[in-house]
Homo-oligomer: A and B are copies of this chain.
Amino acid sequence: MRIDLNADVGEGRSATVAGSDAPPHADAALMPSITSANVACGFHAGDPGVMRATVALARAHGVAVGAHPGFPDLEGFGRRELHVAPHDVEDFVVYQVGALAAIGAAQGVRLQHVKPHGALFNMAVRDRALADAVARAAVVIDRELILFGLPGSEIVAAGARAGLRTAREGFADRAYRADGTLVPRSEPGAVIHDPEIVVERAVRMVRDGVVDAIDGSRVRLAIDTLCVHGDTPGAAELAARIRQALVAADVEVKAVGAS
């Protein structure tokens, strides 16, 4: 058994990250526990300087680098649905992933994967045309890119149609519905805060391929990568505990693109 642990990183901005009074950088604490880093590309979070610093951080920790493109919505952190045409989404993704690919190239880092962010992620779960647009954009950048998405989602199907390798993603700290989709953040119980439960769900998801849905039913879930959230207090410690528990359960923790 094998799993990739991914986290969203690089969501700060240069001025505060680099400033002399920078808060302790949560990303650095997370890196030892993850194997894939989803780097924000400047549309919903991050900026060129943060992108460079985050790629360098991931590289130093041997963590694979992926792009985390979102809607152009800094204020709303890319979590607000924006009604645009599929070709707009394709343009957004080509632009952002192209920018990160160049920043990676400057450090000899080739991108491993693409994972849409926030509202774009959610819309690409259910909207085929939008999912195809994301996949087309990834193909333009690099045919070897791995597309991350919810098992059974349109984005995973779109990746397959486009000839891309895909990775099915699970969320240990998010509640699931009986149909295997995530409970939206706006609903109660969407995020699981108890670390014990999160760790236990992570192990069951990876080892047993199941998760308990919010209605109590058991959902089968085959995943290749597990998302660890980095923006909550205690996130780094939780990620470390998840990794330890997985290793203790004889799961190999390794980047999805690693041979």
Contacts and interface: CB of A to CB of B under 8 A. Distances in A.
Nearest to A47: B75
The copy count of this chain in the complex is: 4
A152 interface: no
Contacts of A23: 231-233
A141 B102 contact: yes
Interface string A3-17: 000000000011110
Contacts of A83: 80-83, 119
Contact of A229 (B21, B74, B92, B137): B21
Contacts of A51: 91, 95
B140 A80 contact: no
B98 A20 contact: no
A259 interface: no
A99 B95 CA distance: 5
**Interface range for A:** 35 or more
Given A16-B77, A102-B97, A91 B229 contact: no
Interface string A79-110: 11111100110011011111111110110000
Given A20-B185, A99-B98, A82 B82 contact: yes
Contacts of A186: 20
A216 interface: no
Contacts of A73: 72, 82
Contact of A75 (B13, B52, B106, B233): B13
A190 B233 contact: no
